[in-house]
Structure 1
Amino acid sequence: MRVLFVPHANKAHLHIMTPLAWALRTAGHDVRVASQPEIADAIIASGFVPVEVGRTRTEMPAFYPGVRPGETPPVVMAPGERQEMPLQQDFPRDNPLEKLSRASWGFALFSTDEMIADLIALIDSWRPDLVVWDSMVYAAPAAATVCGVPHARMMMGPDGITQLRRAARDEGDPLRDWLDRVLGGYGARFDEDVATGHFTIDPMPPWQYQPDGLHLVPVRHIAVNPPARIPDWLREEQQRPRICLTLGESHRNGRGTEAPAADLLDAVSGLDAEVIATFNAKQLATIPVLPDNVRVVDFVPLAMLLPSCAAIVHHGGAGTFATAVEHAVPQLIIPGTHWGFQWWGPLAHANGLQQQGAGRFVADADHLTSEALAEDLTRVLKDPSFKANAERLRTQVAGLPTPNDLVPALHRLVDQYRDVAAARAGRPS
């Protein structure tokens, strides 16, 4: 088979796709990876030759005039008050169309007109048997639909967009409206599989939130890290429990939606633990003095670091979350600001971990206090049930099909959907 992977222009998303791409490649299939230019070097580092499609787009498209990310003010908490954990399944109950409109700002940002045109040209010339697309990049299913090629969505977290679209069904659907306009320009039409794939490859644990009724194909998450050397201190004998403190790749540029580094470091300063903080210079710019128990490193492979950790504090990104599950490390999750991140996965990850007894939702970034984080860290480090439950979850995910196991299933699914995709586009299969 020929298989085209289309990740979002984010290294963490590429790394979630890479094991399946290599499973197909080592099984003898032809694999290409196409994305916007920002991650060309990361694609090369992953072992593939990048196909650059589209260009970088920085302006924020507005599907509804005046609706842009960041406009919803944070909820003001009373002194000493702790935020209750929101639940993913509760979000659509009030004003789902408004929430969908706010969540939809990235549709065209991540799938520009130029990217769609470039993908159509690539698919038409190379004729892949399957397109595997990042669940945030709708350019790929649009192009695959125009060209009559089966396509599979690959999740990077919970399917909050489908959750919202179903809740807002009678009021409107900005994703459908946008895709219908895009496809109409190429003589095609929208159908539900353009939004959800002919099937959905899901590398998240089975207890992770997903809407009912989808054709889900589970696969085990395999951690992939950028090329790096293991630091000498990681080989040394530990004297105290170790905590990893990271905000991942997504928050290294200080966009104002992340938890403040000062609050995070203040929370860990009084703990009898060694804290490894993967912060860069920009994140540390406002920190005059580091706590004595904190070691700052710009980057260290989580797959190498986490086996030595008693806990990890992080932003809830899919790669960090799944890697910590794989290594049975209790997790404390601090998503970005509530208005910006409720749909992109961190809260659903926190919901699942807390319900399974393997972690804690601390607070959204705009509700965080250092006292709340210190309290939760102390609880997780002292209560052995968190580690025991994390071990249980590791055993569960170890039983999922590996990317290698999935390859024969992909053969069958391509055969199943080939005629359907070709007929939709009016092309011979």
Structure 2
Amino acid sequence: MRVLFVVSDWFTHYAPMIPLGWALQSGGHEVRVVCPAGQAGPLADAGLTPVPVLGGLDMVTQTRLLYYWQAQGDNRPYPGMPLHPVTGEELASLDGFSYDAWFAEHKREIAGAVKANFTGTLAHAREWRADLVVHDPLSLEGLFAAKATGVPAVLHAWGPVGTDEQDPLLRLLPPDPAGFFPRHGLGEAGTHLVDHVVDPCPASLAPPTRAHRLPVRFVPYNGPGEMPEWVLEPPARPRVCVIWGASLTRMFGPRSFVVPDILRALAGLDAEVVLTGIPQDTAALGAVPAGVRVLERFPLRFLLPTCSAVVHHGGAGSTMTAVAAGVPQLALTFAPEQQANGVRLAATGAGAHLRGDLADPAAIRREVARLLDDPSFATAAARLREENAARPTPADLARTLAELAEAGSVAAAR
């Protein structure tokens, strides 16, 4: 079987798909990944074959444009002014950027990139004769290529936010303004065309979807890395991991960098604090409090099983890696999807949620102390871990996809 993955321009969007790619290849199937050029390196590092034919705006610029456009419509996903979509600088007012003028200047370039992405993905699916397409929620090109070639399309969710959300700010599948779907006789694009969804969440966190659900165990992959021996040694005190997403400051600005507040909040707790982040963020901290261990680009899957609690920004990758490790979580969120993750996690009893723009050191300290002192959080987190471990493995899902592809080819032949 030939399986075509189609992924967007952000590592954590497709990281949950990588163990499935390994399982498919180990089962004797061929896997290729249509991707933006910037993701070819991480995909190759993971042992998959990238096909870097996608282009256009990078994910950070796209997101800043979206937040600005929403703010213009008085539908702000977070308080305060959005960043300048192009420069990333803080705007004093919405008048500091003109969406209409920017779009008028770049619409031909954008239209060309969109056309190249759709036609390039379709051409590769046809030329390679893919039997099945698996795509992340932002990769509309994958759904299009599958529908246009008559093979099954499978959307791979990355966390608790699904394909059928009531909140418009949580609807991830992009629109089709150029009309590629109707132009190819497929009707209007939308989630009603999503037939199958890979669901990597325990039932307690199941993402809303009306599609046929394909359950799978979430197997964490946070990129390559080495395992230092100290991680294997049991900590003398409860270990609290602080994770801060690489995207936040670039999308929300310096006000979203609340790591100093977190470290102040944790000072004085009877706990060992380990901070993980990207070099730019750890450098921005300057001197860190005594006793805080700083790790840069460290794979979370190695660290979290040794932790008693974790503080993060509510991203799906951090949330689900902590679920798999069975660690109580505090989510300090900014974006709508992060907030949904945090609220849904808190509802399971395995964590707590605070809005990042409202949380102060006292509130953060109070919530982390609850995670450490109240055993119900550890019990609920262990239950989520067990739910996850009981789900079908990526190898099981690979066999299910092979059956789906075979059924699809029979239907196409008829």
TM over 0.5, shorter chain: yes
Deviations 1:323-348 (A, max 9, x none): 21111111111122xxxx21x3x333
Paired with 2:182 and 2:273, the residues of 1 have a C-alpha distance of 54
| Correspondence for 1:272 | 270
Deviations 1:126-153 (A, max 9, x none): 0110000001111111122222222111
Give the CA deviation at 1:196.
5.0
| Correspondence for 2:151 | 149
SS of residue matched to 1:357: coil
Give the CA deviation at 1:2.
0.6
> What residue identity is the alignment partner of 2:114?
T
Identity %: 32
Give the CA deviation at 1:165.
8.0
> Which of 395, 402, 412 in structure 1 is aligned with 2:393?
402
Give the CA deviation at 1:237.
4.8
* Cα pair 1:252 1:279 within 8 Å, conserved: no
| CA distance 1:147–1:212, change in 2 (3 Å) | closer
Report matched runs for 1:10-409 at 5 Å: 10-58=10-58, 60=62, 67-68=69-70, 72=76, 74=78, 112-159=114-161, 162-164=164-166, 178=176, 181-185=179-183, 187-190=184-187, 196-211=193-208, 213-251=210-248, 253=250, 255-256=252-253, 258-336=256-334, 341-342=335-336, 344=337, 346-361=338-353, 363-409=354-400
* Cα pair 1:57 1:112 within 8 Å, conserved: no
Paired with 1:123 and 1:45, the residues of 2 have a C-alpha distance of 23
Paired with 1:297 and 1:174, the residues of 2 have a C-alpha distance of 32
Paired with 1:335 and 1:67, the residues of 2 have a C-alpha distance of 20
Deviations 1:209-260 (A, max 9, x none): 4335321111111112322112343244522211110023433757427442
* Cα pair 1:63 1:174 within 8 Å, conserved: no
Paired with 1:127 and 1:44, the residues of 2 have a C-alpha distance of 22
* Structure 2: tracts of 5 or more residues without a match: 81-109
Paired with 1:379 and 1:252, the residues of 2 have a C-alpha distance of 28
SS of residue matched to 2:293: strand
Deviations 1:285-332 (A, max 9, x none): 543431113111112221111121000111122222122111111111
Judge which range, 140-149 or 396-405, deviates more. Answer: 140-149
Paired with 2:67 and 2:333, the residues of 1 have a C-alpha distance of 27
> What residue identity is the alignment partner of 2:406?
D
Give the CA deviation at 1:116.
1.3
| CA distance 1:394–1:60, change in 2 (3 Å) | closer
SS of residue matched to 1:136: coil
* Cα pair 2:16 2:219 within 8 Å, conserved: yes
Paired with 1:333 and 1:48, the residues of 2 have a C-alpha distance of 32
SS of residue matched to 1:112: helix
SS of residue matched to 1:278: strand
Paired with 2:65 and 2:236, the residues of 1 have a C-alpha distance of 54
SS of residue matched to 1:393: helix
Paired with 2:320 and 2:36, the residues of 1 have a C-alpha distance of 25
Deviations 1:178-225 (A, max 9, x none): 26712234x333257765522111111212143353211111111123
| Correspondence for 1:80 | none
Deviations 1:23-47 (A, max 9, x none): 1111111111111011111111111
SS of residue matched to 1:141: helix
Give the CA deviation at 1:284.
3.6
* Cα pair 2:77 2:169 within 8 Å, conserved: no
| CA distance 1:45–1:406, change in 2 (3 Å) | same
When normalised by structure 1's length, the TM-score is 0.79
> What residue identity is the alignment partner of 2:146?
A
| CA distance 1:112–1:158, change in 2 (3 Å) | farther
| CA distance 1:164–1:190, change in 2 (3 Å) | farther
| CA distance 1:255–1:166, change in 2 (3 Å) | closer
| CA distance 1:165–1:150, change in 2 (3 Å) | farther
When normalised by structure 2's length, the TM-score is 0.81
RMSD across aligned C-alpha pairs, in angstroms?
3.2
| CA distance 1:9–1:60, change in 2 (3 Å) | closer
* Cα pair 1:332 1:359 within 8 Å, conserved: yes
| CA distance 1:24–1:235, change in 2 (3 Å) | closer
| CA distance 1:208–1:69, change in 2 (3 Å) | farther
* Cα pair 1:302 1:323 within 8 Å, conserved: yes
Paired with 1:62 and 1:325, the residues of 2 have a C-alpha distance of 29
* Cα pair 2:330 2:368 within 8 Å, conserved: yes
> What residue identity is the alignment partner of 1:367?
L
> What residue identity is the alignment partner of 1:131?
V
Paired with 2:177 and 2:53, the residues of 1 have a C-alpha distance of 18
> What residue identity is the alignment partner of 2:259?
A
Paired with 1:64 and 1:18, the residues of 2 have a C-alpha distance of 28
| CA distance 1:174–1:394, change in 2 (3 Å) | closer
| CA distance 1:31–1:277, change in 2 (3 Å) | same
Give the CA deviation at 1:376.
0.2
SS of residue matched to 2:281: coil
Paired with 1:214 and 1:191, the residues of 2 have a C-alpha distance of 17
